[in-house]
Amino acid sequence: MATDIIIPSDLWEGDEESVITAWLASDGATVAEGALIAEIMTAKVQNEIAAPASGKLSILKEQEAVVVKGDVIGRIG
Amino acid sequence: MENERKLTIARAMAEAVAQEMRADPSVFVMGEDIADLGGIYGNTRGLLAEFGKERIRDTPISETAFIGAAVGAAQDGMRPVVELMFVDFFGVCFDAIYNLMAKNIYFSGGNFKVPMVLMASTGGGYSDGGQHSQCVYGTFAHLPGMKVVCPSNAYDAKGLMTAAIRDDSPVVYMFHKGLQGMGWLGTEPGANVHVPEEAYEVEIGKAAVVREGRDLTIVSLGQGVHHALKAAKTLEADGISAEVVDLRSLVPLDRETVLTSVAKTGRLIVVDEDYHSYGVTGEIIATVAEHDLAALKAPPRRIAFPDVPIPFARIMEQYCLPNPDKIVAAAREICPAGAPAA
């Protein structure tokens, strides 16, 4: 069963848009639950996204994509 | 299966420093906003929490004082890693850098070592003006007594930092802002690569052939390597096969790798974001010309920043910067169209 990678509502304060500044795993790579997989920058502060499950990563929003809280940026299946 | 472990250059630098600090109590870090903030380029993130304020030291805005202090500490047995936040600020502290740091090993007849790393951010492209956007690679590489390195990706960034900290000579570690993985300074996915967790060194003074080719050698460093790789991909469609050499170090300079590549391809383009005249591009071309002029099938070309202060206006700065299109255009001029015979 696939698990969505969702930007948590408490990742930063406020509701401003942010940018995916780096994927730290490749599309199609195998990742372990809890591993750091992406960085998201909000107003020059970098926030971290950890893998919510173990499995194969599918990237849905590429580096440089503008995102908001609740967005699904990838999937682990 | 092992988790893929891509890092940004910023994370790779911090990881190397942390590992050396764990292994060697004489390593410490100093600079502006490197402790509480974790460095404005993210390259000291997490260090304060692990090592505390004694070893991760925020300094006042006096580069003269803290770089001078680092030279003294290094001569006294410590291994300081010091950050000059923007390389452009070297003007206020150059006596400490090139009269003290670079020369004291020589002046003492080798009785003092100066095992320090001077980190400095380089480069523009994000409209920060002419005193926050320079590279000045050639300036540092020109003056004897300092090793100079400049990584283009996270693997080299970690290995070069580890090697720099362990080196008994001063190493100037120049990192391009656009490769750090900090979005507002630009992003370059090609800089984020898999990095082994364990400590390792990338030898200072060794270039890397990052793409093999037959018709043309493109030599660059830092962000220019990514421009070169993109240009090489475009040129492939024209039937032009470009080899890309990533210098990785300017001092010592791996002339051998450049000469070997040009001996094979016969054509040379050097790409550097530093100023055009009296710089890295001229040095590379001179190296080839001095060695064997007959190796060249066409006049070498350089793509560098024009000899003007870097403009603030975005459209003007972008016009001046090296980019893949400029490399492709130069390549088409010096390579016969349609897969030239080697």
Nearest CA in chain B to A41: B183
B194 is catalytic: no
- Among B184, B192, B194, pick the best mutation site for testing chain A contact (most A Cβ within 10 A): B192
Q: Which residues of B touch A24 (CB under 8 A)?
A: 5-8, 11, 192
Give the count of beta carbons closer than 10 Å to the beta carbon of residue B76: 9
Report how far residue A69's alpha carbon sits from residue A48's, in angstroms, rounded to the nearest whole number: 13
Q: Which residues of B touch A23 (CB under 8 A)?
A: 6, 189, 192
Catalytically annotated residue among B15, B83, B132, B188: B132
Q: Which of B256, B239, B198 is nearest to B339 (CA)?
A: B239
What does the longest C-alpha to C-alpha distance in chain A come to? 35
A2 has pLDDT over 70: yes
The stretch B48-63 carries a mean pLDDT of: 97
B1 touching chain A per CB within 8 A? yes
Binned at pLDDT 50, 70 and 90, residue B2 comes out as: low
B4, B7, B182 ranked by CB distance to A31: nearest? B4
Domain count, chain A: 1
B142 is catalytic: no
Tokens representing B132?
């926050």
B181 touching chain A per CB within 8 A? yes
Dump pLDDT digits (tens) for B158-190: 999 999 999 999 999 999 999 998 877 878 989
Dump pLDDT digits (tens) for B102-153: 999 999 999 999 999 999 999 999 999 999 999 999 999 999 999 999 999 9
Q: Which of A46, A32, A48 is nearest to B180 (CA)?
A: A46
Domain(s) of CATH 3.40.50.920: residues in chain B? 208-334
Tokens representing B107?
């002046």
The torsion angle over the Cα atoms of residues B247, B250, B255 and B256, rounded to 10 degrees, is -60
Q: 3-class DSSP state for residue B139?
A: helix
Which secondary-structure segment (H or E) carries B235?
helix B223-237
Contact (Cβ atoms closer than 8 angstroms) between residue B280 and residue B248: no
Catalytically annotated residue among B15, B63, B188, B273: B63
Q: Is the ipTM of this complex over 0.85?
A: no
Above pLDDT 70, what percent of chain B? Answer: 97
Q: Which residues of A touch B6 (CB under 8 A)?
A: 22-26
Give CA separation, B150 vs B88, B118, B253, B272, in Å.
16, 12, 12, 12
The predicted pLDDT at position B341 comes to 44
A25, A31, A63 ranked by CB distance to B189: nearest? A63
B225 has pLDDT over 60: yes
Give the count of beta carbons closer than 10 Å to the beta carbon of residue B136: 17
Q: Which residues of A touch B42 (CB under 8 A)?
A: 46
DSSP state of B314: H
Report how far residue B153's alpha carbon sits from residue B83's, in angstroms, rounded to the nearest whole number: 19
Nearest CA in chain A to B11: A24
Domain(s) of CATH 3.40.50.970: residues in chain B? 6-194
The stretch B195-213 carries a mean pLDDT of: 98
Domain B6-194 has CATH 3.40.50.970: yes
A68 has pLDDT over 80: yes
B36 touching chain A per CB within 8 A? no
Q: State the smallest CA–CA distance between residue A30 and chain B in angstroms.
A: 6
Contact check, Cβ <8 Å, B183/A31? no
Contact (Cβ atoms closer than 8 angstroms) between residue B107 and residue B71: no
- Topology of B208-334 in CATH? Rossmann fold (3.40.50)
Q: Which residues of A touch B181 (CB under 8 A)?
A: 21-22, 39
Q: Which of A46, A45, A41 is nearest to A64 (CA)?
A: A41
Nearest CA in chain A to B3: A31
Q: Which of B206, B143, B130 is nearest to B172 (CA)?
A: B143
What are the two backbone dihedrals, phi and then psi, of residue B142, each rounded to the nearest 5 degrees? -70, -35
Dump pLDDT digits (tens) for A9-58: 999 888 889 999 999 999 999 999 999 999 999 887 889 999 999 999 99
What does the longest C-alpha to C-alpha distance in chain B come to? 62
What is this structure's pTM? 0.94
Structural domain containing residue A22: 3-76
Q: Which of B22, B47, B323, B6 is nearest to B157 (CA)?
A: B6
Tokens representing A41?
């920058």
Nearest CA in chain A to B191: A22
Contact check, Cβ <8 Å, A39/B181? yes
B342 has pLDDT over 50: no
Report how far residue B136's alpha carbon sits from residue B123's, in angstroms, rounded to the nearest whole number: 9
Which are the contacts of B277, defined by CB distance < 8 A and separation ≥ 6?
B307
Q: Do the bridges between strand B216-220 and strand B268-275 make them parallel or antiparallel, or are there none, so unpaired?
A: parallel
The predicted pLDDT at position B338 comes to 58
Dump pLDDT digits (tens) for B313-331: 999 999 999 999 999 999 9
CATH number assigned to the domain comprising residue A34: 2.40.50.100
Above pLDDT 90, what percent of chain B? Answer: 93
Q: Which residues of B touch A39 (CB under 8 A)?
A: 8, 181
Contact check, Cβ <8 Å, A46/B182? yes
